[in-house]
Amino acid sequence: MSFKVAFIGAGSIGFTRGLLRDLLSVPEFHNIEVAFTDINEHNLDMVTQLCQRDIDENGLNIKIQPTLDRREAFKDAKYIFSVVRIGGLEAFQTDVDIPLKYGVDQCVGDTLCAGGIMYGQRGIAAMLDICKDIREVADPNVLLLNYANPMAMMTWACNKYGGVRTIGLCHGVQGGHWQIATALGLKKEEVDIICAGINHQTWYISVKHNGEDLTGKILEAFESHPEFSQTEKVRIDMLRRFGYYSTESNGHLSEYVPWYRKRPEEINDWIDLGVWINGETGGYLRVCTEGRNWFETDFPNWLKEKPMEYKPESRSEEHGSWIIEGLETGRVYRGHFNVVNNGVISNLPDDAIIEAPGYVDRNGINMPHVGDLPLGCAAVCNVSISVQRLAVEAAVHGDDLLLRQAMMMDPLTGAVCNPKEIWQMTDEMLVAQEKWLPQYGKAIAEAKERLALGNLLPTKDDYKGAARIKVKTVEEMAQDREASSKNAVEADKAKERPAEVK
């Protein structure tokens, strides 16, 4: 069978290459068309060289179509993967550093909190333009598979305002599933789960082994586990107080709620610095910066290494290829997908983007009714949904009042900052990110005027955060090439489980 798959943001080495391997590990897909598009010609060229080499070494007669013209890439595409990072690391730096001046200490800053909200403003502005091109030139039944964060906001905007059927995909459920099985001393395939909520705040509301409900035994298992008891203190505390384990990593989760990062002197009590995702200040920004620098420096050696193998046992658990396989071949796939709620979770709003179990076959993507989340879990999700809704509407309409309200309603930002500080911080972030925020022209001009007047609230301009680690130089990374190359691949998305776990 033949159809066209396009990747936008294809210059992201780890994710693009891995997703392509997954797709081409399906025997029926050995004749598909593949197009890559990115705004960075240098990155696009490097990733295309690597992926084409993988294709050739696996004996497939597929020639990647790399192009800076996204409309050319989208033309007649049936499936489009979005792995964009609007503003790149330059904008990401301001997502982390400006809030830090006001005491908002983020580990990641790409989903909620001040950084995630601004990431959404940039991403939604770009995605609405991208969706226009998709509507005009892609296959009429095109499916947009969104891997870009902030997942819920981006997927919400594409479905409501972009006019493109969009599903959001994340591997957090798989990672937590593996953790739960490991804590219980079981194999992952032996543990049956139902996980529901919103992206990065999805809850394992049912955990069973051979029909026995083990949900009530998870807390003791995590508290007594020698590694997880140290690396997942926030998740364990949330489990202790809400009764259910959450999908997201310790560092991610700590910045979505108001309790664990609001007092600098307490942050280190809740995090672990062995791996960035466990809570390091600006940890994701650091590994992404190191990964980019290393890939650009070491690229010639990447071409000398063994190519990826396109075979079933090498395929990852990322949902994208499995969804396309189900739709095209009829083989049934069960995964957890981010979709418009429409009553799937009955005590979350219908317009929200929820994450819940779904089934895929030739008939489409079908989401069974989950019903009510436990009240405490629903309450946590509903706070975040309110922030997401405000942020989406702000981004679509260029409404800086809604943007400021989103910042005020954000749990951690609101716990750390008072309203005047939030207003000033938002001014700073709007001005710093002006070139990626075309919808905010008037608001940015007014923000510049206010900042130019002086008499500003004091900020901690030299504050580095409670747990920041220095970015390694290329020379330092060269001392351990294997670890640096692994980091460059995985910097696209955080892993919560060993890479080879299936």
**What contacts 24+ positions apart, CB below 8 Å, involve 426-433?**
426/400, 427/451, 428/98, 428/101, 429/94, 429/95, 429/98, 429/99, 429/114, 429/118, 430/400, 430/403, 432/94, 432/98, 433/87, 433/91, 433/94, 433/118, 433/121, 433/122
Q: Is 310 a catalytic residue?
A: no
The answer to whether 228 touches 180, Cβ cutoff 8 Å, is: no
Q: Is 256 a catalytic residue?
A: yes
Nearest to 175 by CA among 226, 228, 214: 228
The answer to whether 121 touches 132, Cβ cutoff 8 Å, is: no
Q: Which of 204, 256, 310, 440 is catalytic?
A: 256
The answer to whether 324 touches 23, Cβ cutoff 8 Å, is: yes
What's the rounded Cα separation, in Å, for the pair 433 and 435? 6
Half-sphere exposure of 360 (CA within 13 A, CB side): 18
Q: Which of 79, 147, 171, 284 is catalytic?
A: 171
Q: 79: Cβ–Cβ under 8 A, 6 or more apart, which residues?
A: 3, 4, 5, 6, 142, 143, 145, 324
In the numeric block, the tokens 């609001």 are attached to 262
The answer to whether 81 touches 145, Cβ cutoff 8 Å, is: yes
Burial 220-234 (b: 16+ CB within 10 A, else e): ebbeebeebeebbbb
Tokens representing residue 368 in the block: 């069974």
The answer to whether 267 touches 261, Cβ cutoff 8 Å, is: yes
Torsion of CA 189, 191, 193, 199, to 10 degrees: -60
What's the rounded Cα separation, in Å, for the pair 250 and 227? 13
* C-alpha distances in Å from residue 324, one per residue of 11, 74, 275: 22, 17, 33
What's the rounded Cα separation, in Å, for the pair 383 and 388? 9
What's the rounded Cα separation, in Å, for the pair 265 and 172? 29
Catalytic residues, by residue number, are 171, 256
